[in-house]
Amino acid sequence: MKKEELRIICPNGHLGFSPTKEDSFWIGADTKPDYYCSDSGSDDIGPGPLGADKSTSLYVWQKHDLELMLLASRKQGVPMVIGSAGDTGSNSRVDMYVQIIKDLAAEHSLPKFKLAYFYSEVDKEYLKAKLKNGSRIEGLDDRPDLTMEELESTERIVAVAGIHPYIKALEMGADVIIGGRSSDIAVFAGPAIYEGFPEAESYYLGKVLECASFCAEPYGAKESVIGAITKNDVKVTAMAPWQQCTIASVAGHAMYERSNPYYEYFAGGVIDMSECAYEQFDDKTTRITNPKYIPIQGKIRVKLEGSQKIGEMYIGIAGIRDPYTIKNIDKVIELAKEQVQQVFGESGYELNYIIYGKNGVMGEMEPIKEIKSHELCIIVQGIAPTKEMAEELTMIGTRQIFYARLPEVKGTAGTAAFVVDEVLPATPAYKWSMNHTVEVDDPMELFDLNMIEIG
C-alpha cells in the first residue's frame, strides 16, 4: 500500500441533483482528505434523460458542486474524481463537465493540471455484430436476452464502468477525472484499490460513501461525509455538526435497496456483508470490519443501459372534492377512458391515471370499499406518436372526469371541484429498453479514456 490510511470525502450522493451544502463540505475539506470523489448520476432518474440526451439537474447546480470540489482539491493538490457525469454519463454530458472544468480553471487562474475523461456510450453496430455472431446479451432482473428489434429501437446506450477506467486514469497521472456512466461504488473503490487497499474493504467503502450523508442520522441530504480505509477496516464520519454516522445509519444504508440486503452484485464480483461487524468508534464515526469480496469466475461482463422513446406526452391535473365523485372514482376513471376510446380506439397510445389521496396512497389500486380522503388529485398522463394526438387524448381524458355520467346525479353541471382547463406539454416518454450485460475481453473495451492538460 502507498498509504497506511486513505481518506475520501464525498460531498453529495448525486452531484448537482441538488446543491452540496457548503458548511459541512468546508469542514471536511479543512481535514485535508486524500481524494474528493462524487457520483453524479443514476438510473433512478428514469430513462428520459438518457433517451433525450440531457441532464435532469440544473446546469448552475452542477457547476456549483464541481467548483467546490475543484477549488478544494486543487488547493490541496489531491485528485478529484467524478462518475456518471451530468446524470446519465452520456458522451455529451462528459463533454459538458469537461468544459465546465476548463471554464472554472480559467476563471480561477488555476495552475496546470491533468484532466482525464472517458466516454461510456456504446455504438449499436458493436452490439449488432455481437448478436450476428451468436453472442448472448443477457437480460437482468428477469428480462429476456436482447433482440435485434429491441436494439434497433433503442435511442442511446451506455455501458456502466467499473473500477478500471479510474485506476487507469490515476496510473496516467490524472489530477481530475470526469467519468462517463459508472457504478456508483467504482468512483470510490477505484482510487482505494489503486492505492493498494484490499478489494473487500475498498468496495465496501464505495458502497457506504456513494450517497454521502444518507449513511448518517438524523436524515439530511447533500451533507459531506468522509470514509477512511485501512487494510483492516473502514470508518465513516459525518461532517455536518448535527449529524452522526451510527451503527444503525451506516448498516441500514449499506444494506438498503436489495432483495438480499447482505450482497451487492457487480459485473466482476459480489460484496458479502453478511459477516460485517459494526462498532461506534466515536460520537460521529462508525467502524466496519470483515466485509468479503467474492470474484465471479468466467468472462468479464459489463452492464448496458438503453432508453427507447415511446412517444410524445401531455399531462392533465384534476382536483376533486365532491364526496359522491370520490366514492365512485374508479367508475369516473372508467367512463373517462371510454370517451377517449370512442375517439382513438383501444390501442396506439397510452392513457394513465395516477390518483393522490386515495386513502393516503398513490396510484390505481384494487377497489376500495370506503375512501376516507376528502380530496383527490388526479394526474392524467397521455402518450401518443404525435404531440397533437397526445394533447387531445390527454384533454379528453382529463375533462371527461368533470363530465362523468354517474348514476344518481341529477341536474348538476358537474361534480368535480376543480379541473385544470389546459393540459401541459411534458418531455417525451421513454422506457428502459436495455438492462443487460455483454461479455467483453477487456474491461476497458467499451470505455474511451482521454487525457488533456488544463491551464
Question: Where do the domains of the chain lie?
Answer: 6-120+160-297, 309-432
Angle at 156 between CA 152 and CA 158, to 5 degrees: 120
Q: How far apart, in whole angstroms, are the C-alpha atoms of residue 195 and residue 229? A: 10
Query: What does the H/E/C string look like for the chain?
Result: CCCCCEEEEECCCCCCCCCCCHHHHHHHHCCCCCEEEEEEECCCCCCHHHHHCCCCCCHHHHHHHHHHHHHHHHHHCCCEEEEEEEECCCHHHHHHHHHHHHHHHHHCCCCCEEEEEEECECCHHHHHHHHHCCCCCEECCCCCCCCHHHHHHCCEEEECECCHHHHHHHHCCCCEEECCCECCCHHHHHHHHHCCCCHHHHHHHHHHHCCHHHHCECCCCCCCEEEEECCCCEEEEECCCCCECCHHHHHHHHCCCCCCCCEEECCCEEEECCCCEEEEEECCEEEEECCEEEECCCCEEEEEEEEEEEEEEEEEEEEECCHHHHHCHHHHHHHHHHHHHHHHCCCCCEEEEEEEEECCEECCCCCCCCCCCCCEEEEEEEEECCHHHHHHHHHHHHHHHHCCCCCCCCCCCCCCCEECCCCEEEEEEEEEEEEEEEEECCCCCCCEEEEEEEC
pLDDT given at position 2: 74
Which of 5, 9, 448 is closest to 209 using CA atoms? 9
Using CA atoms, how far residue 26 sits from 8, 36, 158, 223, 254, in Å, is: 14, 12, 34, 10, 25
Q: Thinking of the domain 309-432, which architecture would CATH place it in?
A: 2-Layer Sandwich (3.30)
Question: In the chain, which stretches have pLDDT less than 70?
Answer: 1, 257-259, 265-267, 359-372, 409-421
Which of 441, 430, 450, 438 is closest to 123 using CA atoms? 438
Do residues 166 and 120 touch, judged by C-beta distance below 8 A? Answer: no
Do residues 240 and 308 touch, judged by C-beta distance below 8 A? Answer: no
Do residues 266 and 162 touch, judged by C-beta distance below 8 A? Answer: yes
57: its cell numbers: 439537474
pLDDT given at position 363: 46
State how beta strands 35-41 and 6-10 pair. parallel
Q: How far apart, in whole angstroms, are the C-alpha atoms of residue 215 and residue 238? A: 8
Query: Which bin fits 162, alpha (ψ -120 to 50), beta or left (φ > 0)?
Result: beta
164: its cell numbers: 478500471
The one-letter amino acid at 201:
E
168: its cell numbers: 487507469
Which residue reads 391515471 in cell numbers? 353
pLDDT given at position 370: 59
pLDDT given at position 407: 73
